[in-house]
Amino acid sequence: MVRKNRLPKFPDDYIDDKAEEYDSSSWMERNQKRATLLSIQYLYDEKLSGKADKGVNIGDSYLILDLGCGTGFSSEIMIENGFRVIGIDILSDMLLKARDKKKKFENYKSLELILADINFLPIKGASIDHIISISSYNFITYGKDNYGERIKLLNDTAKYLNKILKKKGRIIIEFYPKNDKELKVFKRSFIMNGFEGYMVKNKPSQKSGQTYLLLKKIS
């Protein structure tokens, strides 16, 4: 079981029996859903709107890509808030739990689930309204020990996310950078590939820990 005082280890804490423990943890469910609700609020943030941008309209049934949907806690909250959702996860053990939820709950008809790598999504261009990612974006560089490889992967992923988003689409990422350097690298990958935005931390001086990236496609 993932403990409160440490970050989960990828992929060990998300496969086999650990997937069942994750899905049955009321603490994990509560935190994932809380982070998703806050991310939805950030999706409507007026600071992301420009003079020519009317922003995101509350109540519209947007198509949201849930990056790293896990067992479906985040997707559930998005659907309850009126969105249509495509949930993406690379771990079949986690996605099977989300599929169980889809079969059980009526409102999960608004959910499509795809087993895929965040870095190689089977999504066509300009088809997604907005993207939300809860506690998973840290892991996209898993297995890349070389700094140059990590930078290239981050840039390629940001470029592809830009491609699949509709005009002025937004991305809200809740993740846990190890330090200030890693946070800046992640943010820069988006700024260099057609996005603008800013980050929100619990404390202004915070160098690591829970952080939100609020981004808008500009080109």
Residue-wise DSSP of 149-169? HHHHHHHHHHHHHHHHEEEEE
Query: What are the C-alpha distances in Å from 132 to residues 88, 182, 215?
Result: 11, 20, 10
Q: What is the spatial distance between Cα 13 and Cα 141, in angstroms, rounded to a whole number?
A: 17
CB atoms inside a 10 Å sphere around CB 137: 21
What's the token pair of residue 19?
Answer: 């997937």
Query: What are the C-alpha distances in Å from 27 to residues 34, 173, 213?
Result: 11, 20, 23
pLDDT value for 174: 96
- Report CA 129 to chain centroid distance, whole Å: 14
Q: What is the spatial distance between Cα 148 and Cα 154, in angstroms, rounded to a whole number?
A: 10
Q: Per residue in 63-98, pLDDT tens? A: 999 999 999 999 999 998 999 999 999 999 999 999
What's the token pair of residue 34?
Answer: 């809380």
Three-state DSSP at 92 gives helix
Q: Per residue in 209-218, pLDDT tens? A: 889 999 999 9
Q: Per residue in 168-193, pLDDT tens? A: 899 999 998 888 888 899 999 999 99
In the chain, the percentage of residues whose pLDDT exceeds 70 is 90
Q: What is the spatial distance between Cα 37 and Cα 78, in angstroms, rounded to a whole number?
A: 8
Whether 5 shows a pLDDT value over 60: the answer reads no
Q: Per residue in 6-50, pLDDT tens? A: 567 788 888 889 999 999 999 999 999 999 999 999 999 988 886
User: Domain coordinates of the chain in residue numbers?
Assistant: 12-50+57-217
Domain 12-50+57-217, what fold? Rossmann fold (3.40.50)
pLDDT band at 58 (very low <50, low <70, confident <90, very high): confident
Report helix angle 26-43 to 17-24, nearest 10.
70
